[in-house]
Amino acid sequence: MPGLGWDAAAEQRFDVNLSILFTELPLLERPAAAAAAGFTAVELWWPWIDSPTPERSELDALRKAIEDAGVQLTGLNFYAGQLPGPDRGALSVPGEESERFRANVEVAAEFAGSLGCGALNALYGNRVDGVDPAEQDALALENLVLAARAADGIGAILLIEALNKPESPLYPLVSAPAAVGVVDKVNAATGLDNARFLMDLYHLSMNGEDLPAVIERYTAKTGHVQIADNPGRGAPGTGSLPLEDLLGRLRKAGYDGWVGLEYKPGDRPSAEAFDWLPR
């Protein structure tokens, strides 16, 4: 991977996702490890997969670890269960799962706000048997409106993401137009205009989308970008995605936000998985 070029990457702001990188370390050690690797910003999936409302002491300990490392929290997922894995969000599932999401909304927003985090990500939720998809969509919109208002309360945006059908066959948002359509519905329902598209180039490539066309059409509605190479969801250079070209297109289209590194380090320590980056 060294020698990829990536001259344009020197102009890009990268953060590292501590829920997929540095996972060989305990959660509270990961922010400092990211800082030691040269990063000034991190993002996270909801770290407590079994609890939308963890003990205050656990929240405080993670907050202190992030502050002590001197890194910025740029993004946080609302509760969505086990990730990566079979769980893909709870906000569209009636009953207990929806209630777990609702219980998490204010907790996650308060935690994110205390660290100046500007983006909260709400995974839409898998389809479940025995429930009319229209009922699930109505519940999802209701819960996304709740999440958007909580995000607005801390000055943040709400991110809505398309996943990929091969790995998440029950997830209904498996294209950029589908995710952006939900973004538009949330903004229309709240009047806040703080819902944005999370453009994950790995997921979109797995769906076979025309990535330059997606960038041209949807950059203006994009609030965050995530990358991994394809195939394999590894670091740039381990697959065949032209990520340098795609990030260059994003910049030309006006995107100047963070790009999250959400890839697997492979059979090596995470600290060694950044040799493609310019230093």
Q: Which residues are catalytic?
A: 161, 262
- The C-alpha angle 201, 31, 53, rounded to 5 degrees, equals 85
Cα first-last separation, the chain? 14
Residue 261 CB contacts under 8 Å (≥ 6 apart), including other chains = 14, 15, 16, 17, 21, 226, 227, 228, 235, 274
Strands (E), 162-242: 195-200, 222-227
Q: Residue 142's closest CA among 177, 197, 179, 105?
A: 105
Q: Quick check: helix, strand or coil at residue 257?
A: coil
- The C-alpha angle 182, 185, 186, rounded to 5 degrees, equals 90
Q: Residue 221's closest CA among 260, 195, 239, 251?
A: 195
C-alpha to C-alpha distance for 222 and 213, rounded to whole angstroms = 14
